[in-house]
Structure 1
Amino acid sequence: MDSPVSPDGSHGAAVTAEDFGLKGPRGWAFRSVSIEAEPGSLIAIEGPSGSGRTCLLLALTGRMRPTEGRGEVGGLQLPRKMAAVRRISALGPVPGVSELDPALTVAEHLRERALLQRRFDGSLRTLLRPRAERAAAARSRIDEALEAAGLDLATLPKKDRTAVRDLERLDALRLSVALALVGRPRLLAVDDTDLKLSDDDRAEAWKLLRSVAEGGTTVLAVCSQAPEGTTVIRTVADTAPRSEDPTEPTPEDKHEPTPEDTTEDTTEEGTADALAETGRA
């Protein structure tokens, strides 16, 4: 099933937020985030490790429940339409959430993703197509995603039989992006974009994500330093002022507030707790 387009006919999802925040048992993972980005934007979430970058990425893709403020992705309100936001977004590499299996080969990852796509996203009409037609359609999607991610299987050590553990960091990033793009999402989210990359590879990674955005898909990328030409959301790890009437935390497991919840710090502990609250640490 193709991804829906927005009312103005574009493929990507507009992303907006105002006073957006998420609180865990021991503090704020992030707070007071505001953004307004058009469909097809390249959005960088910039900040030091432990400043809530990953939690913000997961909240904006409908995978973590925000505590306060408002957000909207592709016209879908957060947190009210979290499930709908998940359907139009896809995760690239996010440690602890959507990691590649180092023991599997590139071909095995692609085959698994195609099967999941057909099983969960295909219409009844698609499922009733002849097997050869379904296989050709799946192959076309994979080829399209690999091209968009810039991953040439012929250049890998053992081509598509190369194990993930043998991939260079940049090629692993390209594979993760390709897997996410198989579903033709309106929003692509990538964590730790510039982690453990050389200057040249970092430039190539941003070139890749900019190309995806120019193709119409909105891209949300966590990084330590954003390049020029991106819409930047900055997260910080120091204290943030509390509202006089703080909203009760509402993570997915309906955690009840405790005395620890009164801390004002946006800390690495707060980020880890918020991740743990959703079972994604």
Structure 2
Amino acid sequence: MHSTPHGAAVTATGYGVQGPRGWAFRDIGFTAQPGSLIAVVGPSGSGRTCLLLALTGRMAATAGTAEVAGLPLPKKKAAVRAVTALAHVPGVTDLEPALTVAEHLRERTLLQRRFAPLPRLPLGGSPSALLRPRRERTAAARARIDAALEAAGLDLDTLPKGDRTAVRDLERPEALRLSIALALIGRPRLLAVDDTDLKLSDAERADVWATLRALAESGTTVLAVCGGVPDGAVVVRTAAPHGADGKSDTTDTRDDGKGAADALAEAGRA
């Protein structure tokens, strides 16, 4: 049982994306309840990243139907983007190596404040009632960052220079957790994570899955591209890549980091 209905239900039927080089993925069908841990597995080049982008409203599907939080895709892509967040997607959410952890967190918080929807003005209220003192805004931002870091399992005290540690000095699991924390600052209903367990040791992989499972159990739906299937996950399998003629095309590499960025360019950023 989940403690909150915060998470987004996800469904897909015959879902697919076809581009100039053929099908990125197709015939995807599954149903996941709010607060589910969804594992997307398949061979390299099978469109796992493209599926992640399509289900979060960043890419328009060309076949089938899907819904996220009751919002139909691709009709409501913008609304879906507002309730979802991406983490660790090569070519899309890359961290800046020269920036520190603190700088990344501060930047994301400012962006979140800049693009967050405006609160509703109470009937008969004054616009000044919507303005909070700077001290309150700073405290709220700090609380949001702390909550995101805790949920992502990133302890700043364990880093070489604390929050002044540059991204280039982070180990791979730490960089992954930072990317997840940045995504969680927006309090998404669905968190989508790419390359979740790539190049991790067995112990590191188990720790990351424990973190993502805890997120799901707390109510946030988690959609993760991975190599291994974690226990209790809703499994979505992508097939071997196909060309425009429907035949296997093992040279299609759109599912690597550059492929994700290329796919976004082909489809057009929504």
Same fold (TM > 0.5): yes
The one of 105, 108, 113 aligned to 2:108: 113
Whether the 8 Å CA contact 1:47–1:225 is kept in 2: the answer is no
Q: Residue 82 of structure 2 aligns with which residue?
A: 87
* Equivalent-residue separation in structure 1 for 2:117 and 2:56 (angstroms): 21
Q: Residue 162 of structure 2 aligns with which residue?
A: 159
Whether the 8 Å CA contact 2:212–2:222 is kept in 1: the answer is yes
Shift in Å, 1:266: 6.2
For normalisation by structure 1, the TM-score amounts to 0.85
Identity in percent: 68
Pick closer, same or farther for the CA change 1:15–1:122 going to 2, 3 Å.
Answer: same
Q: Residue 26 of structure 2 aligns with which residue?
A: 31
Would you say 1:169 and 2:158 are equivalent positions?
Answer: no
Amino acid at match of 2:219: G
Pick closer, same or farther for the CA change 1:153–1:143 going to 2, 3 Å.
Answer: same
* Equivalent-residue separation in structure 1 for 2:159 and 2:186 (angstroms): 24
SS at match of 2:107: helix
Shift in Å, 1:122: 4.9
Pick closer, same or farther for the CA change 1:119–1:19 going to 2, 3 Å.
Answer: same
Summarize the alignment of residues 1-281 of structure 1 with structure 2, pairs less than 5 Å apart.
10-123=5-118, 128-239=131-242, 262-265=244-247, 267=249, 268-269=252-253, 272=259, 274-278=263-267
* Equivalent-residue separation in structure 2 for 1:101 and 1:266 (angstroms): 36
Q: Residue 258 of structure 1 aligns with which residue?
A: none
Q: Residue 250 of structure 1 aligns with which residue?
A: none
Whether the 8 Å CA contact 2:9–2:68 is kept in 1: the answer is yes
CA-atom RMSD, angstroms?
1.8
SS at match of 1:184: coil
SS at match of 1:206: helix
Whether the 8 Å CA contact 1:88–1:187 is kept in 2: the answer is yes
* Equivalent-residue separation in structure 2 for 1:42 and 1:232 (angstroms): 9
Q: Which runs of 4+ in 1 moved over 3 A?
A: 124-127, 269-276
* Equivalent-residue separation in structure 2 for 1:78 and 1:163 (angstroms): 38
Residue deviations 1:34-79 (CA, integer Å, cap 9, x gap): 0100000000000111110000000000000000000000000000
Amino acid at match of 2:266: E
Q: Specify every segment of 5 or more residues in structure 2 that has no aligned partner in the other structure, as ranges.
A: 122-128
Shift in Å, 1:224: 1.5
* Equivalent-residue separation in structure 2 for 1:77 and 1:192 (angstroms): 26
Amino acid at match of 1:278: A
SS at match of 1:200: helix
* Equivalent-residue separation in structure 2 for 1:269 and 1:155 (angstroms): 36
Whether the 8 Å CA contact 2:11–2:31 is kept in 1: the answer is yes
Aligned residues: 251
Whether the 8 Å CA contact 1:236–1:266 is kept in 2: the answer is no
* Equivalent-residue separation in structure 2 for 1:188 and 1:138 (angstroms): 20
Residue deviations 1:226-265 (CA, integer Å, cap 9, x gap): 12211100112154xxxxxxxxxxxxxxxxxxxxx84224
Amino acid at match of 1:175: L
Pick closer, same or farther for the CA change 1:262–1:198 going to 2, 3 Å.
Answer: closer
Shift in Å, 1:274: 3.3
Residue deviations 1:69-90 (CA, integer Å, cap 9, x gap): 0000000000000000000000
Residue deviations 1:96-149 (CA, integer Å, cap 9, x gap): 111111111000000001101111115257962111111111011001111111
Pick closer, same or farther for the CA change 1:266–1:56 going to 2, 3 Å.
Answer: farther
Shift in Å, 1:162: 0.3
* Equivalent-residue separation in structure 1 for 2:76 and 2:248 (angstroms): 26
